[in-house]
Amino acid sequence: MPTSVQNVIGPDICGYIKPEKLERLLRKLFGYKITVRHVGERYEFDAPRYLTDEEIDRVTEAARVH
């Protein structure tokens, strides 16, 4: 089983993101379902590696609530 690391999206952008859309984008990146947890004022999820700043920008930009 592959190891995973915990990623955190902080409160500064968490409120602008729908978790369902974020999960869809994570599936595109990693090829399988990754569950996003809402903990406090942030999102947490386990992935094979930390997301890069560019990936976070893409994920948050594509998942923003309009």
Left (φ > 0), alpha (ψ -120 to 50) or beta: where does 56 sit? alpha
pLDDT at residue 42 in the model: 95
For the question of whether the overall pTM of this predicted structure is more than 0.75, the answer is yes
Query: What is the per-residue pLDDT across 5-64, written as a single tens digit (0 to 9) for each?
Result: 999 999 988 877 888 888 988 999 999 999 999 999 999 999 999 988 888 777 776 666
> Is residue 1 within 8 Å of 44, Cβ to Cβ?
no
Give 17 or 4, the one with higher predicted confidence.
Answer: 4
pLDDT at residue 55 in the model: 82
Domains present along the chain, CATH in parentheses: 5-63 (3.30.56)
